[in-house]
Amino acid sequence: MKGLLKKSGLKVTDNRLSILEVLKKSSAPLTAEDIYKTLENEKHMSFSTVYRSLNAMLDAGILLMQVNQDSKQYFQLNTNEHKHIIKCIICKEAVNVEFCPMKEIEEVLAKKTGYKITGHSFEFTGICPNCQKNSQKYSKKH
């Protein structure tokens, strides 16, 4: 983790290393608040430091960021295996989509539009198996 920061010309600080650790351990992209709360017990770090660190590492290409349907920014490590989620509209639980089908779509799109594609974000919403079971009460709404 230290190497990532050095390579980008960012200073190596405890705060940044902690944030990277949290992201590394997480199986899904996290919000600034998620990270703040995770570290709360362990050490003191202000909200603005979380945001500023995330943005610095985002600019440096160490992280990826996407805005989900809840209007919040979600951050994850920029490895070759980035993650997308599917989120239950009832219980709000999110699970990872275990594949990213965008590579081929991006190629088609580049040809059609002439754009050079640099990124994508997507999110699915649905009803998880559990909520489907208990969802008679929701069945009036399509």
Partner DNA sequence: GTGGCTGCAAAACCTTTGCACACAA
Partner DNA sequence: TTGTGTGCAAAGGTTTTGCAGCCAC
Chain residues binding its own copies by CB under 8 A are: 61, 66-71, 73, 86, 88-89, 95, 97-98, 101, 105-106, 109-110, 112-129, 132, 142
Sign for the pseudo-dihedral over CA of 25, 1, 34, 118: negative
Query: Which tokens in the block code for residue 106?
Result: 């991006």
**Contact (Cβ atoms closer than 8 angstroms) between residue 63 and residue 119:** no
Which residue, 1 or 86, has its beta carbon nearer to its own copies? 86
**CB of residue 5 to DNA, shortest distance in Å:** 7
Sign for the pseudo-dihedral over CA of 24, 26, 29, 33: negative
Q: How far apart are CA 121 and CA 76, in angstroms?
A: 12
Query: Which tokens in the block code for residue 44?
Result: 């003191």
Site stretch for DNA (CB under 7 A), options 21-29, 65-73, 98-106, 117-125? 65-73
Judged by beta carbon distances under 5 to 8 A according to partner kind, the member of its own copies, DNA, none in contact with residue 121 is its own copies
Quick check: helix, strand or coil at residue 114?
coil
Q: How far apart are CA 109 and CA 37, in angstroms?
A: 39
Which residue, 40 or 107, has its beta carbon nearer to DNA? 40
Phi and psi torsions of 62, nearest 5°: -75, -30
Judged by beta carbon distances under 5 to 8 A according to partner kind, the member of its own copies, DNA, none in contact with residue 140 is none
**CB of residue 94 to its own copies, shortest distance in Å:** 10
Judged by beta carbon distances under 5 to 8 A according to partner kind, the member of DNA, its own copies, none in contact with residue 123 is its own copies
Chain residues that interact with DNA, rule: CB under 7 A: 6, 10-16, 31-33, 44-49, 51-53, 55-56, 71-73
